[in-house]
Amino acid sequence: MKKRFISAVAIAFFGLMLKAQQIKFEEYDLPNGLHVILHQDNSAPIVTTGVMYHVGGKDHEKGRSGFAHFFEHLLFEGTPNIKRGDWFKIVSSNGGQNNANTTLDRTYYYETFPSNNEQLGLWMEAERMRHPVINQIGIDTQREVVKEEKRLRYDNKPYGNFMHKIQENLFIKHPYHNPNIGLMEDLGSAKLEEFQAFYKKYYVPNNATLVVAGDIKPEQTKKWIETYYGGIPKGTLYPKDFPKDDPITKEKEVTATDLNIQTPAYIFSYRTPSNKENDAYVLDMLSSYLSNGKSSVLYKKLVDQDKKALQVGAFNQGYEDYSIFAFYAIPMGQTTKQTLQSDIDAEIKKLQTNLISEEDYQKLQNQYENQFVNANSSIEGIAASLATNYVLMGNTNLINKEIDIYRSITRQDLQNAAKKYLNSNQRIIINYLPEKK
């Protein structure tokens, strides 16, 4: 009885938290097509200004991978009004911080300032959109920066090309085939005019979303937005008509090697639906059930109890056009690949034939309730979520409603997804092995 009372209190508390969590926002379009999202929160004197461009690692010409990530760096080089090397100095000297990041589907730039510098953040992002300096010195500088990043984060890091090998083998026709950071040969051979053309094609207001969140006065913010962004010319929007990959109907096994490792990893990867699809949410929850934390199914069995694996897990990586669901395992001692594969397959079979327990299901729901409460606990987080939900999901209000999707997932849905997507004839097995020096 006491346990039930505590659960009831916890549910009531989460209910109040979720009600208080409702994120209010306003959105509209400028005549040049720039989508604007405003979120007012006067509880702390800070403002985040972010711009998300609908261009990512998948948007490239053949033989020119990595351009979007390259521009994540290049667009900090300066403008006619911001001298080369001054971008970060201006931000820090005015009490702010800034950053940018690129995925296969979009690029996001943002600044967070004390609210008395909101206008500065708006001006700087407008400068970046209106007339960045794209010249040979900037390209040569950033080319070396990106190449060094690739060496440090991927090529010289143990298991660094793990995700690239999954992409390379799951996607043959679709440009998700290439790594987000690009290939060295593509980065090295691209010309100045190609970078300039890429900028003109994608970094236009009607391919962008501006989000301003925090301690703002909306009417004043709108005036500044009109002043700084209203006169930027609309560009041409190009269709994202990417080739579709054929369904995987037969299990395939490939080998990849890595000079930086001594212990192999085994990857069992599946191509799954776009993160806009309801099944993507179900698969996300399924991956959490399998490997979220030390009490999860795979960790508990293969690492904790049986001592067969150093690491094991499952993850669901959602993208705009497709997603990736994958299992991975690094063996302990003399454990064979076949042993790990058999144990992982046994867990998949359990999911396909039996409903997970009510206790495990409730644990999952609690995890997602907690994630939802924490996800938008900062102004920067709220700004990024608003932009992402609009640009990639087509529904800004998912910031408030996404938890309802997870709540609606049943144990039967989890079983159905395992039956539909996690069959051996639908996967690519990657033997990620040490390369002999």
- pLDDT, average across residues 219-246: 96
Q: Over 70: is that where the pLDDT of 414 sits?
A: yes
Q: What is the pTM of this model?
A: 0.94
Tokens of 331: 């063996």
d(CA 351, CA 360): 12
Label residue 258 exposed, middle or buried (CB < 10 Å: 0-12, 13-18, 19+).
buried
Mean pLDDT of the chain: 94
Long-range pairs of 298-304 with CB within 8 A, sequence gap ≥ 24:
298/327, 298/344, 298/347, 301/343, 301/347, 302/329, 302/340, 302/343, 303/332
Main-chain dihedrals φ then ψ at residue 375, nearest 5 degrees:
-60, -35
What pLDDT is stored for residue 374 in this prediction? 86
Asked whether the beta carbons of 184 and 279 are under 8 A apart, the reply is no
What is the reported pLDDT for 432? 98
Whether residue 261 is predicted with pLDDT greater than 80 in this model: the reply is yes
Asked if residue 2 has pLDDT above 60, the reply is no
**CB-based contacts of 112: which residues, under 8 Å, 6+ apart?**
46, 47, 48, 49, 96, 97, 98, 121, 214, 379, 380
The yes-or-no verdict on residue 16 having pLDDT over 70 is no
Q: What are the φ and ψ backbone dihedral angles of 247, each rounded to 5 degrees?
A: -60, 145
DSSP secondary structure, 377-405, as one string: SSHHHHHHHHHHHHHTTS-TTHHHHHHHH
98 vs 109: CA distance, rounded Å: 8
Tell me the per-residue pLDDT of 180-194, one tens digit each, with 9 for 90 and over.
Answer: 999 989 988 999 999
Q: Quote the pLDDT of residue 436.
A: 85
CA distance 269 to 253: 10
**Percentage of the residues of the chain whose pLDDT score is greater than 70:** 95
- The mean pLDDT value for 126-155 works out to 96
Residue 254's φ and ψ, nearest 5 degrees, are -130, 165
Judged by average pLDDT, the poorest of 13-22, 95-104, 153-162, 240-249 is 13-22
Average pLDDT of the residues in 396-413: 97
d(CA 210, CA 348): 43
Distance separating alpha carbons of residues 171 and 429, to the nearest angstrom: 14
More confident residue, 63 or 21: 63
**108-134 mean pLDDT:** 98
pLDDT tens-digit profile of 283-333? 999 999 999 888 889 999 999 999 999 999 999 999 999 999 999 999 999
User: Does the pLDDT value for residue 379 go beyond 80?
Assistant: yes
Judge whether residue 275 has pLDDT over 80. yes
Separation of alpha carbons 243 and 14, rounded Å: 44
pLDDT of residue 11: 45
State the Cα–Cα distance between residues 352 and 422, nearest whole angstrom: 9
Q: What is the pLDDT of residue 375?
A: 83
Residue entry with tokens 């991956």: 287
Residue 426 has pLDDT above 80, yes or no: yes
Q: Report the first-to-last Cα separation within the chain, whole angstroms.
A: 64
Among the residue ranges 109-113, 187-191, 211-215, the one predicted with the least confidence is 187-191
Q: How confident is the model at residue 36 (pLDDT cuts 50, 70, 90)?
A: very high
- CA neighbours within 13 Å on the CB side: how many for 18? 19
